[in-house]
């Protein structure tokens, strides 16, 4: 039998068909085995862990065959230690079993850090150093000096703090700046859409202070405050044009995007707030 006759024979056709069928069967079998091995198509919806204790979060994740790992801890006086402040991935997402869920907890105690030297540098440099050290910039006082806008003193709760003194991380630091302007005024800057840190820097450079800080109902957790933006201030620059140096500016912050959509028009009004 020639090769051509063999390819035309029933034996070859049956064998070829058998090879194709067996190949398809093996491929399907491997795909099924791989699907079972990897758990493809099986997913778990991540629960909302915010506000729960670490033990509650661990138990909840354990029941769903998910893993728990602490990513960070942040101290807050308003929230009980060990409470979940944030998580990743976010609640509602679907993941495979055994996926690790990273959480940020409220720390049990405040971390102590050495007080940096803020004197004899500019206000902007001092603010950058305060924030990079994990401290919070507070109010600004002014004293007559031949070195305007230079930091003369650093205080916490009205008491001078020495360089190197151990203080809790997150302590509010007030500054005393030099000024060669006595009783002069500054324009009220527009703070709409700025963060708290940006507002403090802007007001400090204008020789003004942060007044009352209010967060609206959209800010539920301490960690959300860092993302909040200003949507209202008082005095309003559309109503009050100038104020005396050292005047406190009250601000309201939100993470609600609907309150930050339209920036109010700034109108120059010949008015003063004394």
pLDDT 10s digit of each residue in the chain, 274 long?
A: 566 665 567 776 777 788 888 899 889 888 877 766 655 556 899 999 999 999 999 999 999 999 999 998 888 777 888 999 999 999 999 998 899 999 999 988 878 899 999 999 998 899 999 989 989 888 888 888 888 889 999 999 889 999 999 998 889 999 998 877 666 788 999 999 999 989 988 988 888 888 899 999 999 887 888 899 999 999 999 888 898 888 889 999 999 999 988 665 544 444 444 4
Instruction: Specify burial of residue 205 (Cβ count, 10 A radius: 0-12, 13-18, 19+).
Output: middle
Q: Are 144 and 179 in contact (CB under 8 A)?
A: yes
Which of 124, 44, 85 has its CA nearest to residue 226? Answer: 85
Backbone angles phi, psi at 54, to 5 degrees: -60, -35
pLDDT at 102: 96
List, in sequence order, every residue forming a beta bridge with 136; answer none if it has no partner. 172
**CA count, 13 A, side-chain hemisphere, 132:** 9
**CA dist., res. 86 & res. 107, Å (int):** 13
Task: Give this prediction's pTM.
Answer: 0.48
Q: Are 160 and 153 in contact (CB under 8 A)?
A: yes
CA 196 to chain centroid, in Å, comes to: 12
Based on its alpha-carbon atoms, the radius of gyration of the chain, rounded to whole angstroms, reads 32
Per residue in 171-193, pLDDT (tens digit) is 999 999 887 766 678 899 999 99
Q: Are 213 and 249 in contact (CB under 8 A)?
A: no
pLDDT at 272: 46
Tell me the two tokens of residue 182. Answer: 């006595």
pLDDT at 1: 58
pLDDT at 48: 95
Query: How many C-beta neighbours within 10 Å does residue 123 have?
Result: 22
Per residue in 125-147, pLDDT (tens digit) is 999 999 899 898 888 888 888 88
Q: Is 202 helix (H, G, I), strand (E, B) or coil?
A: helix
Secondary structure percentages of the chain, helix, strand, coil, to 5: 25, 30, 40
pLDDT at 91: 93
pLDDT at 270: 44
Residue pointed to by tokens 């302590």: 171
Q: Is 45 helix (H, G, I), strand (E, B) or coil?
A: strand
Class of CATH domain 50-106: alpha beta
**CA dist., res. 274 & res. 266, Å (int):** 20
Q: Where exactly does CATH 3.30.10.20 map onto the chain?
A: 50-106, 110-181, 183-274
Which of 249, 171, 149, 236 has its CA nearest to residue 209? Answer: 249
List, in sequence order, every residue forming a beta bridge with 186; answer none if it has no partner. 243
pLDDT at 267: 43
Torsion-angle region of 41 (φ positive above 0: left; ψ -120 to 50: alpha; else: beta): left
Q: For residue 172, what is the DSSP state?
A: E
Q: Is 155 helix (H, G, I), strand (E, B) or coil?
A: strand
pLDDT at 42: 67
Residue pointed to by tokens 């005047």: 247
CATH of 183-274, one of 3.30.10.20, 3.40.50.2020, 3.40.120.10, 3.40.950.10: 3.30.10.20
**CA dist., res. 172 & res. 139, Å (int):** 9
Q: What size, in residues, is the chain?
A: 274
Per residue in 85-118, pLDDT (tens digit) is 999 999 999 998 899 999 999 988 878 899 999 9
- CATH code of domain 110-181: 3.30.10.20
């Amino acid at each position: 039998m020639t090769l051509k006759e063999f390819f035309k024979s029933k034996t070859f056709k049956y064998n070829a068909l058998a090879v194709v069928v067996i190949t398809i069967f093996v491929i399907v079998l491997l795909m099924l085995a791989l699907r079972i091995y990897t758990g493809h198509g099986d997913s778990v919806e991540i629960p909302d862990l915010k506000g729960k204790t670490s033990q509650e979060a661990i138990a909840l994740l354990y029941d769903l065959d998910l893993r728990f790992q602490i990513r960070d801890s942040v101290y807050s006086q308003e929230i009980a230690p060990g409470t979940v402040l944030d998580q990743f991935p976010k609640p509602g997402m679907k993941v495979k079993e055994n996926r690790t869920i990273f959480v940020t907890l409220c720390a049990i105690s405040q971390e102590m850090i050495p007080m940096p030297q803020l004197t004899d540098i500019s206000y902007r440099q001092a603010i950058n150093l305060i924030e990079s050290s994990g401290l919070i910039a507070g109010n600004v006082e002014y004293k007559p000096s031949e070195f305007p806008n230079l930091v003369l003193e650093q205080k916490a709760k009205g008491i001078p703090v020495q360089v190197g003194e151990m203080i809790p991380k997150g302590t509010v630091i007030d500054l005393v700046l030099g000024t060669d302007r006595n009783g002069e005024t500054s324009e009220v800057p527009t703070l709409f859409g700025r963060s708290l840190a940006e507002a403090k820097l802007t007001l400090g450079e204008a020789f003004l202070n942060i007044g009352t800080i209010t967060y609206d109902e959209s800010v539920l957790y301490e960690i959300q405050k860092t993302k909040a933006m200003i949507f209202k201030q008082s005095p309003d620059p559309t109503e009050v044009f100038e104020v005396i140096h050292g005047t406190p500016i009250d601000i309201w912050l939100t993470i609600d995007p609907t309150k930050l959509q339209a920036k109010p028009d700034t109108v120059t009004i010949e008015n003063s707030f004394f």
